[in-house]
Chain A
Amino acid sequence: MAMLEIKDLHVAFPKGKKSEVEALRGVNLTLEKGERLGVVGESGAGKSMLAFAILNLIAEPGRVSQGSIAFHGENLLELSERDIRSIRGNRISMIFQDPMVTLNPVLSIGTQMVETLKAHRRISDAEARKLCIAKLKEVAIPSAESRLDAYPHELSGGLRQRVVIAIALLTDPELIIADEPTTALDVTIQAEIMALILKLCRDKDVALILITHDLGVVAEVTERIMIMYAGLCVETGATQQIIQAPHHPYSAGLLKALPQFAGRGTRLYQIPGSMPPITALPPGCAYHPRCERATDMCKAQIPPLEHGCACFHPLDQTEAAS
């Protein structure tokens, strides 16, 4: 049995009085213990929605309208609020995008760490503090003891994200969901933080769902990849395989847009157009208006996900490898 198994997940938001629009339109995903998965897509593709759905934290008035999320065979969507809380931040923890706003500005780092431990373990304050200091050292925060009494505004962005990572690791979770953990950081810090996350996940055999739009990072960190477009998974498979030979025209377009694939001095490739908002999806394959391989069939039907690729006209081996 897979550690995490998501089946046909739909997330819907009300639109007007009666109708609903779907931010996720049937996503499937499995994750084994210790596996690292990259979820890639443009802004609005539903990546973060997927992350929040797993922890049952979708902001009102959104809701999971269909599907199941099984964690060790137990459907998280059917758990009581109390039971899901014992999993949140304990067995599955999350790292947010912007460390500047993830930590509560009026509470000290120590308070915010200790409360996490106390929510899940019977532990004395002194012991909790000791453990927190150990974790802060693990994420390479200098003078960890004194940081416990510091407030978030006294730390730099990179340090704050390290604190967030330390909080995520406090309870030795089995799965960490990192929602664009480096996007809001300085470029020079990004690589450091990513390397830290990778090292910690490897050392402790923690599974990782890395949500990002940076294919370069995904190539370095993850073993498997899932490319999302307009609330659907369009291509999934081993990271190296997809990076080298994408089959879906959208994946190919994303890869072509990376600077390392463009010749020196040439313009970067750009996928024409932009992703439609979930309120105005075209019929059929949502990508067809931007796809150069689109036919009438693409306009009429949504292509099913077969052999890891949801496309009626996938690139073949020779095309893909070029």
Chain B
Amino acid sequence: MFVISLIGFSIQDNLGDPLRELLGQSVSEEVRNEMREEMGLNDPFVVQYIRFLGDAVQGDLGDSYFFKRPALGVIMDKFSATFELVLGAVFIFLSLSIPAGIYCAIHRDSLVTRIIMSASIIGISVPVFLTAIGMVWLFGVELGWLPAFGRGETVEMPWGWDTGLLTWDGISHLILPSITLSSIMLPLFIRLIRAEMMETMSTDYVRFAKAKGLSTARVRYVHAFRNTLLPVVTVGGLMIGTLIAYTILTETVFQWPGMGFLFLEAVNRVDTPLIIAYIIVVGLIFVVVNTLVDFLYTLINPMVKLPGGKS
């Protein structure tokens, strides 16, 4: 987290002069300098950074230049939208990739397998913005089945959380963006699960399980699939980063009012506190998710024990 904050903070000097955006063209040079001094922008980098760190540990990542509000608050307002988008995408790719991967591993030469495998190659190769635009065009414009713009109707929840999952309108708005977002992970995971499953199916312990006279279902799902999950979970944890990166793209195309969309706007406005806050929040999410994944890993793999756990 410390490293992330350092990197995040150090890029701010290279992003352009925030005052130009803040004050416009018509303000005189003296006023600008005065303002710079007042905001501490003329201090050496280290001083600025330490001041930033001191505030950051108290939960203050600075005020957004554009919104004139704390940057963290601005981001957290958008967090629920991004969270639901990622949730939708994860739900879609988990519920499709696991059955498809297992099916393709077991029926390795069937016609369906060949179709899925070919489609997944195409899926991997097509860039996300193309998928997104294709989706908007086909389902949003041509067929008009699903909305392709914004988040739809949302419901206020406690702690300022607003959700689109409770209304049909909100869910229908979620479908296209989350399919688009999941399209990055889906083909990759189908191929990964298939490859791992095929490998475990040919191991000695799976053969031994068969030789013990166990049912096919037990051999496949208890003996083979649990071992398949190990590398899949590891890769899954690493892919979370990719997924967050692609939310920026997806949210932009679908005008989804989430953190990624906000980030892109912030970049355009040279709203440095907001940019840094975004980087730090995403870094935090990444760290938390990977810790969770490690924890999950110990649950499936008895060979890995967290220090301090029972041995």
- Chain A residues with CB under 8 Å of chain B are 55, 57, 59, 81, 85-90, 93-94, 96-98, 101-108, 115-116, 119-120, 151, 153, 164, 167
Residue of B nearest to A167 (CB): B212
Q: Which residues of A contact B218 (CB under 8 A)?
A: 115, 119
Residue of A nearest to B108 (CB): A60
Extra contacts, 8 of them, besides A104-B206, A151-B302, A151-B303 (Cβ < 8 A), are A85-B214, A89-B214, A96-B207, A96-B208, A102-B204, A104-B227, A106-B301, A120-B213
Closest 6 CB pairs of A and B: A89-B213, A89-B212, A88-B213, A151-B302, A101-B204, A104-B205
Q: Which residues of A contact B211 (CB under 8 A)?
A: 55, 57, 88-89, 93-94, 96
Residue of B nearest to A111 (CB): B222
Residue of B nearest to A171 (CB): B213
Q: Which residues of B contact A94 (CB under 8 A)?
A: 208, 211
The CA-CA distance from A90 to B204 in the complex, in Å, is 19
Q: Which residues of A contact B214 (CB under 8 A)?
A: 85, 89, 115-116, 119
Residue of B nearest to A120 (CB): B213
The CA-CA distance from A115 to B303 in the complex, in Å, is 21
Does B203 have its Cβ within 8 Å of any Cβ on chain A? yes
Interface size on B, residues (CB 8 A): 25
Does B25 have its Cβ within 8 Å of any Cβ on chain A? no
Residue of B nearest to A94 (CB): B211
Residue from A81, A86, A107, A120 with most neighbouring chain B CB atoms (10 Å): A107
The CA-CA distance from A119 to B300 in the complex, in Å, is 23
Does B269 have its Cβ within 8 Å of any Cβ on chain A? no
Does B32 have its Cβ within 8 Å of any Cβ on chain A? no
Interface string of B285-311 (1 = CB under 8 A from A): 000000000000000111100000000
Contacts A81-B216, A85-B215 given; does A106 touch B302 at CB 8 Å: yes
Does B226 have its Cβ within 8 Å of any Cβ on chain A? yes
Q: Which residues of A contact B212 (CB under 8 A)?
A: 88-89, 93, 115-116, 119, 167
Q: Which residues of B contact A90 (CB under 8 A)?
A: 213
Residue of A nearest to B207 (CB): A57
Contacts A57-B210, A105-B303, A106-B302 given; does A119 touch B226 at CB 8 Å: no
Q: Which residues of A contact B213 (CB under 8 A)?
A: 85-90, 116, 119-120
Does B243 have its Cβ within 8 Å of any Cβ on chain A? no
- Chain B residues with CB under 8 Å of chain A are 202-216, 218, 222-223, 226-227, 230, 300-303
The CA-CA distance from A53 to B129 in the complex, in Å, is 53
Residue from A94, A105, A151 with most neighbouring chain B CB atoms (10 Å): A105
Q: Which residues of B contact A105 (CB under 8 A)?
A: 205, 227, 301-303
Q: How far is the CB of A119 from chain B (nearest CB, A)?
A: 5
21 residue pairs bridging A and B, Cβ less than 8 Å apart: A59-B202, A85-B214, A87-B213, A89-B212, A89-B213, A94-B208, A101-B205, A102-B205, A104-B206, A104-B223, A105-B227, A105-B302, A106-B227, A106-B300, A107-B223, A119-B213, A119-B214, A119-B215, A151-B302, A153-B302, A167-B212
The CA-CA distance from A103 to B215 in the complex, in Å, is 17
Residue of A nearest to B224 (CB): A104
Contacts A81-B216, A89-B214 given; does A98 touch B302 at CB 8 Å: no
Q: How far is the CB of B198 from chain A (nearest CB, A)?
A: 11
Q: Which one, B202, B207, B210, B226, contacts A106 given CB within 8 A?
A: B226
The CA-CA distance from A265 to B151 in the complex, in Å, is 87
Q: How far is the CB of B41 from chain A (nearest CB, A)?
A: 56
- CB of B202 within 8 A of CB of A107, answer no
Q: How far is the CB of A41 from chain B (nearest CB, A)?
A: 21
Contacts A101-B204, A103-B205 given; does A108 touch B210 at CB 8 Å: no
Residue of B nearest to A104 (CB): B205
Q: Which one, B203, B216, B226, contacts A107 given CB within 8 A?
A: B226
Q: How far is the CB of B133 from chain A (nearest CB, A)?
A: 43
Q: How far is the CB of A48 from chain B (nearest CB, A)?
A: 11
Q: Which residues of A contact B227 (CB under 8 A)?
A: 104-106
Q: How far is the CB of B155 from chain A (nearest CB, A)?
A: 42
Residue of A nearest to B302 (CB): A151
The CA-CA distance from A167 to B213 in the complex, in Å, is 11
Residue from B205, B209, B211 with most neighbouring chain A CB atoms (10 Å): B211
